[in-house]
């Protein structure tokens, strides 16, 4: 029970599964003068008295996400003398666009980045006329260990990455790339999504991905970050669900309604004014 906890108790290390909408953050990694996911999370922990210095608490993340990228299954870990308080009240301190959906007690040496066995991302494509089957066949070219330098923002000392699975599927009116790898290069998934979209629109043949992997350069840029989600991080631990996330889900539902209405407004403007109503 939380009321029986004291700061004299031995610290407990906890891992939390964290979700957030990234469009209002300057990325996940802590920055001194910008709003970031880690910054808001640490501030919430400090307000709850879970720790006074995140470094002393061993606060660590499974990875970074760029500005505009979202998460369903990011993993944060820290040590605290008040674990029950953390589990019960974090969702009431966090901003509404960030939430914890599960927790696990972990060993004191647990490091969510180095203990991660794999990471899964999803990239969501719009509901345009694209060939999802061709994209899925193209995605298979990514599976295996390759030099992914042509699909990265900057050169890495070790550009080889092992992709465990990659496929494209329909989800309602949208198409989704889901890719799992042991680790990723910077912007790697966004470059993959960009290439697959070219296949889906017929601008690239399905074998272009293999040709690009075999070369040194890539003629295309990364897809926008707005539709990318860190879907899961597999650290080999089982999270206990935290169901009290209604405050954040209410925010997400309100946001969904807002964007649905805005989409309808845009459709109405296009329908009434032509393809580009602002330049008729």
Place of tokens 């640490």: 42
136 among known catalytic residues: no
Contact present, 199 and 135 (Cβ < 8 Å): yes
Q: Per 3-state DSSP, what percentage of the chain is helix, strand, and coil (rounded to 5)?
A: 35, 25, 40
Cα 40 from Cα 161, distance rounded (Å): 31
3-state secondary structure 79-143: EECCHHHHHHHHHHHCCCCEEEEEEEECCCCCCCCCCCCEEEEEEEECCCCCCHHHHHHHHHHHC
Residue 48 burial class via C-beta count within 10 angstroms: exposed 0-12, middle 13-18, buried 19 and up: middle
Cα 75 from Cα 235, distance rounded (Å): 9
Catalytic residue among 56, 66, 131, 205: 66
Write phi, then psi, for 86 (nearest 5 degrees).
-60, -45
Alpha helices in the chain (DSSP H): 37-47, 83-93, 132-139, 188-200, 208-214, 246-273
Cα 97 from Cα 24, distance rounded (Å): 8
Place of tokens 């599964």: 17
Instruction: Write out the catalytic residue numbers.
Output: 66
């Amino acid at each position: 029970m939380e009321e029986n906890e004291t700061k004299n108790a031995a610290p407990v290390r906890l891992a939390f599964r964290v979700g957030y909408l990234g469009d209002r953050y300057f990325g996940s990694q802590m920055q001194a003068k910008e709003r970031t996911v880690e910054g808001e999370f640490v501030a919430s922990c400090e307000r709850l008295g879970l720790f006074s210095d995140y470094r002393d608490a061993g606060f660590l993340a499974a990875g970074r996400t760029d500005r505009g990228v979202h998460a369903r299954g990011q993993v944060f870990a820290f040590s605290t003398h008040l674990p029950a308080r953390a589990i019960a009240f974090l969702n009431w301190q966090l901003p509404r666009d960030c939430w914890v959906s599960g927790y696990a007690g972990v060993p004191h040496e647990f490091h969510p980045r180095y203990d991660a066995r794999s990471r899964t991302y999803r990239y969501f494509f719009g509901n345009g006329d694209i060939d999802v089957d061709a994209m899925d066949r193209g995605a298979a070219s990514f599976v295996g260990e390759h030099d992914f330098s042509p699909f990265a923002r900057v050169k890495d000392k070790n550009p080889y990455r092992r992709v465990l699975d990659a496929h494209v599927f329909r989800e309602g009116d949208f198409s989704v790339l889901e890719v799992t790898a042991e680790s990723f290069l910077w912007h790697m998934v966004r470059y993959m999504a960009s290439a697959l979209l070219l296949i889906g629109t017929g601008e690239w043949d399905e074998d272009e991905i293999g040709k690009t992997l075999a070369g040194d350069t890539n003629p295309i840029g990364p897809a926008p970050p707005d539709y990318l989600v860190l879907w899961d991080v597999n650290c080999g631990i089982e999270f206990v669900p935290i169901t009290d996330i209604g405050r954040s889900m209410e925010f997400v539902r309100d946001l969904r309604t807002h964007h649905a209405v805005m989409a309808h407004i845009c459709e109405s403007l296009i329908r009434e004014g032509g393809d580009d109503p602002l330049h008729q």
